Structure 1
Amino acid sequence: MSDAATYPGQNRTPRPPARPPADGRRDAFFDNAKYLAIVLVAMGHSWEPLKGGSRFLEAAYCVVYAFHMPAFIVVSGYFSRTFDMRPDRLRRLVTGVVVPYVLFETAYSLFQRFVVGSPGQDISLLDPWYLTWFLCALFVWRLTTPLWKAIRRPLPVAFGIAMLASVSPSIGDDLDLQRVLQFLPYFVLGLCLRPEHFRLVRRWPVRIAAVPVFALALVFAWWSVPRMNTAWFYHRDSAQELGAPWWCGPVMVLAMFGCSTVLTAGFFSWVPGRRTWFTALGAGTLYGYLLHGFVVKYGVHEGWFDPAWLHGPLGEILVTALAGACVTLLCTRPVRRVFRFAMEPGMEWAFRRDAAELARERSPRSGESRENLSTARA
């Protein structure tokens, strides 16, 4: 851009950049958002065995699936803005993402074989199962962050990649690359956001407008349930694999992104910015995310969702409440202490320490804390 070019407002005094809290505390807004999003994830998974007999529940399922993972991914991208190839950050990427992926992918495979009873379930680190796809995707997205920060128009490029993936059935299931690539624009959007963007969507006019937006989304979802393949919300298949013409892939990528972004903004507008009783649980959302999968799969295997009375309105409300309570329990500090060895292993023995890193740790303004890593991961 030429220095001689002038634009309206160019000579205005720029606003000072947003700064983190002076006392180093976590931002309550993001912890609240992560907790509420993981509760919606657990509720959505609990609805899967029930939604076949209820059109309203299927509509609610579609609305939730349209924005709960995009919201998580946007926040993950936002907290990845400072990632570079510095050794200490690469180490945290390995201990905070790669190690939990390996351990939980192995644990889920063993769980399927010996508890659920799927003798053909093999351990494969190249084929993420159930919930572990997010860790695999986060590793790829985080590793490519320096590239997205270097190019001039990262979001259009991410859209192009996602649209090409949606028409490429040959990608296959390795590393769940369809999801990695089709969800990529949400991560890149998070990289492009600034604190003022989150303040913008939390204004009262946006909060009020979000009410009819969600109501309209629910009505549209109720209408579309018998007419639309809900697999589009999962972003794990190409258009051809879903039985649609190839050109539907790029169209649906754009349409789903528009819908998800509007609903995600509405969701963020309702998230409280102050500290609440569940704010502290936001630091443990990755625990709740990975652990609740065992509960859901075991419940399906044991027939917990089979009683006919659970498929009525009162039963669906009860299951929803229990799912929220379960994932809340799994985010608490005692559970985190038990499973920290798998989620946040130290592994100092596996890495070399250089002089620059030691100097940063001795500095009172040293880089990211361990808790900030949890915020970025989940």
Structure 2
Amino acid sequence: MTTDPPTSTEKNRQKARDPFFDNAKYLAVVLVAAGHSWEPLLGGSRSTAALYMFVYTFHMPAFVLIAGYFSRHFTGRPDQLRRLITGLGVPYLVFEVLYIAFHRKVTGGDHPFSLLDPYYVTWFLIALFIWRLTSPLWRVVRWPVPVAVLIAVAASVQPHLGDDFNIARVFQFLPFFVLGLRLGPEHFARLRTPGVRAAAAVAAPAGLAVAYWAAPRYTNRWFYRTYSAQELGYEWWAGALMTPALTAAGLLLTAAFLAWVPSRRTWFTALGVGTVYGYLLHGFLAKFSRWRDWYAAEWVQGPAGPVAVTLIAAAVMTLLCTAPVRRTFRALVEPSMDWAFRTGPAAAPAAEPAGPAESAEPAGPAPRAAGGRR
């Protein structure tokens, strides 16, 4: 599969990209792959379970926060709506169908077909679609972040929201997106000051120590933010306490993570452009490895197993973010759909804001289990 060479405008946009955000997206999506690779091993190692809980505290909040930051200039212009449809809406439909077909083909099961129930990693596409549509609304709210936190708390104590579009998770991660809308470049620059980096160097191991203590005591399902407290077997007030606590912990560790992300160009900066490809494609391998019992291998179950699967997951994710993979799967992930939209003055795009402020690339997250909740 071939693609047209980049235009001068596209080349200028690539030069204008901030390497800090591409670095952050690549590192975070590698953590997504690592987290998925650890799941079958959680029962046999407290250390692996603690690392899993630690990573799941912040890797999805980091992605959602960055997505909010890149949605600051979304006002609902025709060109923005077209990109929303082609960059998120259509890929959601395409990969929802592909994942369900893949599930049925490999397992031989009759998995229910529903475009309303996001399959595994596809939930983030529809969540970002919803969040971005609401971006203009948050600009007129006087206290947007506190309101978003209240919505998240309400979702965590309401067991009857239903599974459509994984709406509970959409609400529970909302505070990070809204906070991202309120941030500017100066806030991210402040994270990279020596004092903040020193604090981050303390916060990260402290968070890991807390995760090691919490791993045998608390269920990982709190960190998926898909369930209400009642569905997890707790009283409603536990959700009212845990949601703000997890939001604060997620924000703290996200800041610590971003504080140590390189701001210069590195060997993996260019891979940050392709994180949406790695995110959507790696799920097929993650599912296939479980259905074919790859984790039953003796070397995987040994002491070095978690390290080995982590390295393999990182290598696979890196490969899936490369330019050849992007060229091969571009029609699925970034379809060209000019034929589907009106042309003319009414649909003409307005001037673009400076910088990559409209990036629709998701990055990773803590996806739900196939066909619904974990």
Fold shared, TM-score > 0.5 on shorter chain: yes
Partner of 2:190: 200
Partner of 2:372: none
| Structure 1 residue 206: Cα displacement | 1.6
- 1:97 pairs with 2:88: yes
Question: Match of 2:57, as an amino acid?
Answer: A
- 1:37 pairs with 2:22: no
Taking a change above 3 Å as real, the CA distance of residues 358 and 90 of structure 1, as seen in their structure-2 partners, is closer
Listed one character per residue, the Cα deviations across residues 190-209 of structure 1 (whole Å, up to 9, x for unaligned) are 00111111011111222222
Taking a change above 3 Å as real, the CA distance of residues 85 and 147 of structure 1, as seen in their structure-2 partners, is same
Give the TM-score, by structure 1 length: 0.89
- 1:83 pairs with 2:74: yes
| Aligned mates of 1:162, 1:172 — CA distance in 2 | 15
| Aligned mates of 1:46, 1:52 — CA distance in 2 | 13
- 1:210 pairs with 2:195: no
- 1:367 pairs with 2:352: yes
| Identical counterparts, % of pairs | 55
Please show how residues 321-332 of structure 1 align to structure 2 within 5 Å. 321-332=311-322
| Structure 1 residue 353: Cα displacement | 1.8
| Structure 1 residue 152: Cα displacement | 1.1
In the alignment, structure 1 segments of 5+ residues that lack a partner are 1-20, 361-365
| Structure 1 residue 314: Cα displacement | 1.6
Taking a change above 3 Å as real, the CA distance of residues 55 and 153 of structure 1, as seen in their structure-2 partners, is same
Please show how residues 1-378 of structure 1 align to structure 2 within 5 Å. 25-119=16-110, 121-355=111-345, 358=348, 360=350, 366-367=351-352, 373-374=358-359, 377-378=362-363
In the alignment, structure 2 segments of 5+ residues that lack a partner are 1-11, 364-374
Contact 1:28 1:273 in 2 (8 A): yes
Listed one character per residue, the Cα deviations across residues 276-297 of structure 1 (whole Å, up to 9, x for unaligned) are 1100110110100010000010
Instruction: Pick which of 232-241 and 148-157 moved more.
Output: 148-157
Contact 1:80 1:376 in 2 (8 A): no
* SS in structure 2 of the partner of residue 132 of structure 1: helix
Listed one character per residue, the Cα deviations across residues 43-95 of structure 1 (whole Å, up to 9, x for unaligned) are 00000011210000000000000000000000000000000111110010000
| Aligned mates of 2:85, 2:355 — CA distance in 1 | 13
| Aligned mates of 2:222, 2:349 — CA distance in 1 | 49
Larger CA Rg, structure 1 vs 2 = 1
Question: Match of 1:347, as an amino acid?
Answer: M
| Aligned mates of 2:163, 2:338 — CA distance in 1 | 33
Give the TM-score, by structure 2 length: 0.90
Question: Match of 1:367, as an amino acid?
Answer: E
Taking a change above 3 Å as real, the CA distance of residues 285 and 369 of structure 1, as seen in their structure-2 partners, is farther
Name the Cα RMSD after superposition: 1.8
* SS in structure 2 of the partner of residue 150 of structure 1: coil
Listed one character per residue, the Cα deviations across residues 226-267 of structure 1 (whole Å, up to 9, x for unaligned) are 111110000000000000010111211100011000100000
Greater relative contact order, per chain length (Cα 8 Å cut-off, separation 6+): 2
* SS in structure 2 of the partner of residue 171 of structure 1: coil
Listed one character per residue, the Cα deviations across residues 84-128 of structure 1 (whole Å, up to 9, x for unaligned) are 111110010000000000000111101111113322x12211001
Contact 1:96 1:377 in 2 (8 A): no
| Aligned mates of 2:361, 2:186 — CA distance in 1 | 18
Question: Match of 1:295, as an amino acid?
Answer: L
Instruction: Pick which of 273-282 and 346-355 moved more.
Output: 346-355
| Structure 1 residue 354: Cα displacement | 2.8
Contact 2:49 2:215 in 1 (8 A): yes
Contact 1:78 1:193 in 2 (8 A): yes
